[in-house]
Amino acid sequence: MKIKIMENGPILIDVSAAVVKKGDTEETFSGKTLALCRCGHSANKPFCDGSHKKAQFSAEPVEIEVQ
């Protein structure tokens, strides 16, 4: 799994398989990159919807390799 924290943007997580539970709903992802909001302005939390650009969110990038 690879986690990439984008400069001024979301957290990207490359997953082979993941289940995201949000309230009463559950969504399964396979072989995808999930973009998670970290600015707090997304209308589709926990996922990024690009709101960080309008909110002028600012943060440093980080890359994490999970073994």
Dmax over Cα atoms in the chain, in whole Å? 35
Provide the whole-model pTM. Answer: 0.85
User: In the structure, what pLDDT confidence band is assigned to residue 66 with cuts at 50, 70 and 90?
Assistant: confident
Looking at residue 1, what is its pLDDT?
81
Segments making up each domain of the chain, as ranges: 2-65
36 falls in which pLDDT band (50, 70, 90)? very high
Which CATH fold topology does 2-65 show?
Ribosomal Protein L9; domain 1 (3.40.5)
Q: What are phi and psi of 53, to 5 degrees?
A: -65, -50
pLDDT in tens, 39-62: 999 999 999 999 999 999 999 999
Token digits for 47?
């996922």
- Tell me the C-alpha distance between 24 and 11, whole Å: 24
> In this predicted structure, what is the pLDDT of residue 60?
96
Residue 34 above 90 pLDDT? Answer: yes
